[in-house]
């Protein structure tokens, strides 16, 4: 009997028991649905985190901090310094047992092989932002613009680096500062006030720093690092920082620094060298690997639930096939009496099991794809994400699920197929 004829006959046999075939296939479909959605969520999650990491850092960049001292859990001896504990911890960075990067550390990192530049995280704490004829507004944060950070612009754009007198506003600040629209802000001047912390309370000192608006950024689902910050050049951030913190205990102490290497391939070697010198460094690959590990664990748990559903359905396939063998005993006897070989009989029932696996996999995977297409915009709306597809279906992965379920179904149908193949044709024909 030809292979194509066996496959067609297996399909016809299943059509004669539509309800039983459909119910058994649906049992497999539950597992296929869960596994397909899990794979889509894993792929979408990894793609999303990859976009976030690459949008917020460069593959040539390392984020470096000082190695922190081990926490001392024992009681500490009191030392009378003449100031309150709270005031001491606020004015002295070392009071809280935090190791900060110093100017000497910055210079040491700049001398390392394959390092092209080192930029401390200045993040100056300014007082407010305003422009002529408008109210003053509190500035949550001022950050250094980095070309490696992918920004979404509502107006204007930056090609390369910012000039020292340029600034990138957010849409919110452009609106409250009285601009009719983001485009209206381009080229206009805003002023940031900074207060000198070392000045005595009786004679406060402050200064207005003018900036020309180069671009207006809008909210993005990827650029978290610069989200909501006013962005200026590294030199401008350093000028603000030095004016505010000069002659204070906090001056020259940084929690974080960005180290640029000349090639992505050298990032790991620079990281190892920094570690030997008392620093802790993190690359984009480190961040991505940690997030993807978490995603893989969640994906594995979901696939485990799907596998349990498939395992349960295996017993359903075995039961269905055994019942089919019992119901078609005379038919099997007749086929063998007419010359069908034992191998062909066994193959017929294995193909029937394969059809059940195919139907279950196709139904479950198809429903998962439909559910994913419906869920993606709802997820984006609920999480306020734009241009993001968190459930990404790979045709190869979907096909692999279906083929895998067919193989599992064939394995489940081996025992019933062997029983059918071993039936004695004379005894089978005498069965009522």
Span 61-86, pLDDT tens digits: 888 888 877 766 556 666 554 444 44
pLDDT of residue 307: 84
Centre a 10 Å sphere on the Cβ of residue 155 and count the other Cβ atoms it contains.
Answer: 20
pLDDT recorded at residue 84: 43
The predicted structure's pLDDT at residue 252:
86
For residue 228, what pLDDT is reported?
Answer: 65
CA-based max dimension of the chain = 114
List, as one string, the DSSP characters of 15-55: HTTHHHHHHHHHHHHHHHHHHHHHHHHHHHHHHHHHHHHHH
Give dist(CA 271, CA 273) in Å, integer: 5
> Phi, psi (5° rounding) for residue 332?
-65, -45
Distance CA 153, CA 145 (A): 14
User: Are the CB atoms for 139 and 232 separated by under 8 Å?
Assistant: no
Q: What is the pLDDT of residue 88?
A: 43
CA distance 353 to 375: 32
pLDDT < 50 positions in the chain:
81-95, 226
Measured distance CA(309)–CA(408) in Å, rounded: 12
What is the structure's pLDDT at 222? 54
- Distance from C-alpha of 120 to C-alpha of 204, rounded to nearest angstrom: 27
- For 177-219, the pLDDT digits (tens) are 999 999 999 999 999 999 998 888 888 899 999 999 999 988 7
Kind of pairing between the strands at 279-283 and 230-232? unpaired
Which pTM value belongs to this model? 0.62
Token readout for 348 is: 């017929």
Would you state the pLDDT for residue 74? 58
- Structure confidence at residue 386 (pLDDT): 67
The pLDDT of residue 407 = 92
């Amino acid at each position: 009997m030809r292979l194509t004829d066996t496959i067609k006959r297996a399909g016809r046999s299943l059509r004669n028991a539509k309800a039983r075939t459909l119910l058994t296939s649906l049992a497999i479909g539950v597992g296929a649905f869960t596994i397909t959605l899990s794979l889509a969520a894993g792929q979408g999650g990894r793609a999303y985190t990859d976009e976030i990491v690459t949008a917020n850092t460069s593959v040539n960049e390392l984020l470096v901090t000082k190695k922190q001292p081990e926490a001392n859990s024992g009681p500490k001896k009191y030392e009378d310094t003449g100031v309150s504990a709270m005031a001491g911890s606020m004015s002295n960075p070392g009071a809280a047992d935090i190791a900060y990067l110093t100017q000497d550390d910055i210079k040491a990192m700049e001398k390392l092989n394959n390092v092209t530049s080192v930029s401390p995280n200045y993040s100056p704490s300014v007082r407010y932002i305003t422009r002529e004829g408008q109210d003053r507004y509190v500035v949550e944060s001022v950050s250094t613009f980095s070309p490696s950070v992918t920004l979404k612009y509502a107006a204007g754009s930056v090609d390369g680096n910012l000039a020292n007198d340029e600034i990138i506003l957010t849409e919110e600040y452009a609106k409250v500062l009285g601009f009719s629209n983001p485009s209206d802000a381009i080229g206009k001047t805003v002023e940031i006030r900074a207060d000198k912390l070392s000045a005595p309370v009786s004679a406060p000192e402050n200064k207005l720093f003018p900036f020309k608006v180069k671009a207006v950024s809008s909210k993005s689902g990827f650029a978290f690092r610069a989200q909501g910050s006013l962005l200026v050049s590294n030199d401008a951030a350093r000028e603000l920082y030095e004016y505010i913190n000069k002659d204070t205990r906090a001056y020259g102490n940084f929690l974080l620094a960005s180290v640029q290497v000349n090639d992505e391939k050298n990032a790991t070697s620079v990281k190892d060298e920094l570690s030997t010198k008392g620093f802790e460094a993190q690359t984009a690959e480190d961040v991505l690997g940690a997030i993807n590990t978490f995603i893989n664990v969640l994906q594995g748990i979901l696939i485990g639930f799907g596998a349990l559903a498939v395992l349960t359905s295996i017993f359903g396939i075995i039961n269905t096939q055994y019942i089919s063998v019992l119901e078609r005993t005379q038919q099997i006897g007749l086929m063998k009496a007419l010359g069908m070989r034992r191998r062909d009989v066994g193959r017929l029932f294995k193909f029937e099991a394969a059809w059940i696996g195919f139907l279950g996999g196709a139904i479950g995977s198809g429903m998962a794809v439909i559910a994913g297409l419906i869920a993606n915009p709802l997820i984006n709306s609920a999480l306020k994400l734009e241009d993001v597809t968190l459930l990404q279906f790979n045709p190869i992965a979907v096909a692999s699920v279906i083929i895998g379920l067919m193989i599992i179904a064939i394995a489940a149908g081996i025992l019933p197929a062997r029983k059918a193949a071993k039936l004695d044709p004379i005894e089978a024909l005498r069965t009522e």
